[in-house]
Amino acid sequence: MRGKTIGDQELALLQYIAEQDDASVGEVAAGFGEERGLARSTVLTMMERLRGKSYLQRQQVEGVYRYSATGEQDSVVQGAVASFVEKTLQGSVSPFVAFMSHKADVSDSELAELEALVAQLQSRKREG
């Protein structure tokens, strides 16, 4: 996986396609590209780059290529987060936690997920 870098816009595109389950270039250009001012050709180029990096796969259905995220998506998101923490936050998650504590619209499911992560970290700390 190392060496397969992904930019912020590519990551956003990958997440968009993953949320759709699968999508054609036209659908992604309309639903993702238009609001960002991206031409269809730019969206296609980005999608093909992601396919070349094994983050997307495509299958022809009734004469149209449908793109979907591969299992590599989780690792690329984790890599992007790790890079952000290391480069932007100098390895400390404290600024992120401070941000989350001030964020007004944390959903119940997000809060439950954060609590589960903290419990998991505490458990690992006790075992180690």
pLDDT digits (tens, 9 = 90+) for 35-64: 999 999 999 999 999 999 888 999 999 999
Backbone angles phi, psi at 64, to 5 degrees: -120, 135
Percent of the chain scoring above 70 in pLDDT: 93
Write down the pLDDT at residue 1: 41
pLDDT of residue 73: 63
Structure tokens at 67: 């793109």
Distance CA 110, CA 116 (A): 10
73's CB contacts (< 8 A; 6+ apart) are: 14, 15, 18, 55
Predicted confidence band of residue 2 (pLDDT cuts 50, 70, 90): very low
How much is the pLDDT for 36?
Answer: 95
